[in-house]
A and B are shown apart, each in its own frame.
Chain A
């Protein structure tokens, strides 16, 4: 690492020291802040990890559906780098977990095929001093909002980690013969259907594998995103993201929700 990098390390240490002395920063809204206090957690700091990553090039066959492993790897590695850096910051602060994690990919003008992968969230610590680290001894991460976090804890579940799976897939173009043959008819396009199915399955399976590693009993709030990024119309990234949870306490009394009619618009 260069001289600048060691200078950076010193600034970071200083910033984190201030946070340890009792000042907290968080991107939580007031609602979320109050709800997190409500379930016995206190925010300790706004944490972030980022990585600017250059994705390689992989040739695609015009008429063949296939996973583009090199691109999948790039998307995965870059996100993992950002997430790990965020987790490290949280661990440095002595946090039990990170809530409200957002993962983002930004493309900028300055680099073809270069993108910034960023993970941000608020590190929280249990006020009763009991450790809530996950099975791997790391702070838990979760993309649940403060509201969802409160609600989840009411049911006796605890988030274990943000899990994700990704798959970059190239979907074959149809041949001219095929296109002409089906003009004017109602038909399913099996090659497209199958390709989308397979890509989604791959992404979902990878996400589930991550959850199994954490010893989780379920994944909540799963989102499946499909993006073409900068690869043109037939190459799609399937990204599935969710929070792995496991049951930690059995004695729960779920309040019966009250029905209301809100007079707001």
Chain B
């Protein structure tokens, strides 16, 4: 990290950005020091399966959505769905590159932040690159990215499964407007709003289908820990969206290894927490 510029010098944003971009291009040369956002427990978990953390890596992409798409139309808002997919793919390929440059074989504990705005879609990924202890670097396309925690990653490996990457699908769809007469007639009745239900379903089907396609492309046999965000877009009255993402996995060993968990009773007392609110 470079120190922030001294107060007297005028802050030159362009130079700062250039320097940041240049540092991204440089291969990491240090082999002894590592940065990671893993807790001690997670680090121990990683070491227990013979892996180590390498570096904190990220991938970010902001993709523009053509203006005026959200309010009128029919069927899928293809421009927005496409922008979402592009933003996600770009962010993933950037984090792959960073991880490979740092010598990682994969990235675990990826925090995924995504937001959809009327004019653009933002996706940012931040995680810790990991590798089998002392292993030599691999190509960017061989790196896997996963939002599973290091602990979950270790558990999955012990059970004979391996993560292959992230799969994501999103779709935005217009909900047709109801006729004014229908709205008035139905105002006092219990009735299903089929236009919204159908739009919701259609966006969901396309999104899940896209996620599955990505999973199949990665040669996975399953997607675990699928997260779903769905609902109408806050900035458009008749547009609904659905996004789903999860970690693609495949059985790496010949068969699933059973865990044989034991039942335990923890004798810890619940910790009492005192703060200003409880004293009031």
Write the residues of chain A forming the contact surface with B, with a CB cutoff of 8 angstroms.
2, 4-5, 7-8, 11-12, 14-15, 18-19, 22-31, 33-35, 37-38, 43, 46, 48, 50-57, 70, 73-74, 77-78, 81, 106, 108-111, 113-114, 116, 118, 120, 150-151, 154, 255-262, 264-265
What is the bound-complex CA distance between A15 and B202, given in angstroms? Answer: 12
Q: Cα distance A262–B270 when bound, in Å?
A: 11
Instruction: Write out the residue numbers on chain B whose beta carbons fall within 8 Å of the beta carbon of A81.
Output: 192
The 10 residue pairs across chains A and B that have the minimum distance between CB atoms: A30-B152, A52-B196, A257-B263, A74-B190, A24-B222, A25-B223, A11-B205, A27-B226, A52-B193, A56-B190
B201 at the interface (CB under 8 A from A): yes
Asked whether any CB of chain A lies closer than 8 Å to the CB of B204, the reply is: yes
The answer on a CB contact under 8 Å between A4 and B238 is no
- Are B224's CB and A28's CB within 8 A? yes
Q: Is B5 in contact with chain A by the CB < 8 A criterion?
A: no
Contacts of A55 in B (CB 8 A): 190
- The smallest beta-carbon distance between B74 and chain A, in angstroms, is 8
Question: For the complex, is B28 an interface residue (Cβ under 8 Å from A)?
Answer: no
- Contact B189 A54, beta carbon cutoff 8 Å: yes
Using known A-B contacts A30-B152, A30-B155, A43-B222, determine if residue A5 contacts B263 with beta carbons closer than 8 Å: no
Asked if A23 contacts B202 (CB within 8 A), the reply is no
Q: Main secondary structure on chain A at its contact with chain B?
A: mixed
From the candidates A23, A260, A265, name the one contacting B271 in the complex (CB within 8 A): A265
Question: A25, B211: Cβ atoms under 8 Å?
Answer: yes
Q: Which of B192, B212, B258 contacts A37 (CB 8 A)?
A: B258
Do B198 and A54 have beta carbons less than 8 Å apart? no
Interface string of B223-253 (1 = CB under 8 A from A): 1111110111010011000001010000000
Question: Is B73 engaged at the interface, CB distance under 8 Å to the other chain?
Answer: no
Instruction: Tell me whether B220 is interfacial, beta carbon within 8 Å.
Output: yes
State in angstroms the CA–CA spacing of A28 and B85 once bound together. Answer: 24
B186 touches A54 (CB 8 A): yes
User: Are A8 and B222 also in contact (CB < 8 A) when A38-B258, A54-B193 are?
Assistant: no
B interface list, Cβ under 8 A from A: 41, 75, 148, 152, 155-156, 159, 186-193, 196-198, 200-202, 204-206, 208-209, 211-212, 215-216, 220-228, 230-232, 234, 237-238, 244, 246, 256, 258-268, 271
- 4 further A-B contacts with Cβ under 8 Å, apart from A25-B211, A31-B155, A259-B264, are A12-B205, A34-B159, A109-B232, A150-B261
Q: In the complex the two chains form, is A27's CB within 8 Å of B201's CB?
A: no
Chain B hits for A56, CB < 8 A: 188-191
Residue pairs across A and B with Cβ atoms less than 8 A apart, 6 shown, are: A27-B227, A38-B261, A48-B204, A116-B231, A150-B261, A260-B267
Task: Knowing A8-B201, A24-B222, say if A110 contacts B263 (CB, 8 Å).
Answer: no
B193, A111: Cβ atoms closer than 8 Å = yes
- Contact at B216–A15, with CB atoms within 8 Å? no
Q: Which residue of A lies closest to B196 (CB)?
A: A52
Interchain CB contact under 8 A, A109 and B225: no
What separation, in Å, do the CA atoms of A35 and B246 have in the docked complex? 19
Are A29 and B152 in contact, CB atoms less than 8 angstroms apart?
Answer: yes
Contact of A109 among B215, B220, B234 (CB under 8 A): B234
B245 CB, min distance to chain A CBs, angstroms:
11
Q: Determine the chain B residues whose CB is within 8 A of the CB of A26 once the complex forms.
A: 222-226
Q: Do A8 and B155 touch (CB < 8 A)?
A: no
Report yes or no: B262 in contact with A110, Cβ–Cβ below 8 A: no
